[in-house]
């Protein structure tokens, strides 16, 4: 007998029918929760990918800029001071730039949450309802 078939008037469903319906509802709920968790994990993975891209871009860009700008600045400063001091000054400037880029990438990475927050919250609500279904 299907659980969707209409019940004759005055006859209550059997315990087996009720149990089958509850089991079906729980399975549906669990499938929905798994889908929600997957969606949240995909969203967080996208955020992590973007943050990783910033790290990579900062590293490569910092390297290229540091290389060519350092050479140009060093030779420019070498006109007014010793070449060794000019190279040291340029190196210090690029160390500050690299530190700023690293800090920005790290702050973006901290925004990523590996835990599916919405799924955890709904699971807590489901558990609470299961303990007290009349509330």
CA angle 64, 60, 53 (to 5 degrees): 155
d(CA 19, CA 24): 9
**Mean pLDDT computed over every residue of the chain:** 83
* pTM given for the model: 0.39
* Residue pLDDT, tens place only, 64-123: 877 887 899 899 999 999 999 998 988 888 889 889 989 999 998 888 877 777 877 887
Task: Using CB atoms within 10 Å of the CB of residue 6, give its burial: 0 to 12 exposed, 13 to 18 middle, 19+ buried.
Answer: exposed
Q: What share of the chain in percent tops pLDDT 70? A: 90
Residue 3 pLDDT > 60, yes or no? Answer: no
- What is the predicted pLDDT for the residue at 6? 55
* Residue pLDDT, tens place only, 40-49: 888 888 888 9
Q: 85: Cβ–Cβ under 8 A, 6 or more apart, which residues?
A: 77
Residue 127 pLDDT > 70, yes or no? Answer: yes
The token pair at 131 is 């303990």
- For the CA atoms of 92, 94, 97, 103, the dihedral, rounded to the nearest 10 degrees, stands at -80
d(CA 34, CA 78): 64
- What is the predicted pLDDT for the residue at 8? 55
């Amino acid at each position: 007998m299907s659980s969707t078939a209409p019940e004759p008037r005055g006859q209550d469903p059997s315990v087996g029918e009720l149990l089958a319906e509850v089991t079906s509802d729980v399975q549906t709920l669990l499938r929905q929760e798994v889908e929600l968790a997957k969606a949240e994990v995909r969203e967080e993975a996208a955020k992590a990918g973007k943050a990783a891209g910033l790290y990579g871009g900062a590293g490569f860009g910092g390297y290229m800029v540091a290389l060519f700008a350092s050479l140009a600045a060093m030779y420019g400063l070498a006109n007014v001071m010793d070449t060794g001091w000019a190279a040291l000054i340029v190196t210090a400037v690029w160390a500050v730039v690299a530190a700023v880029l690293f800090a920005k990438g790290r702050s973006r990475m901290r925004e990523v949450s590996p835990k599916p927050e919405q799924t955890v919250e709904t699971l807590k609500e489901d558990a609470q309802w299961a303990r007290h279904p009349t509330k």
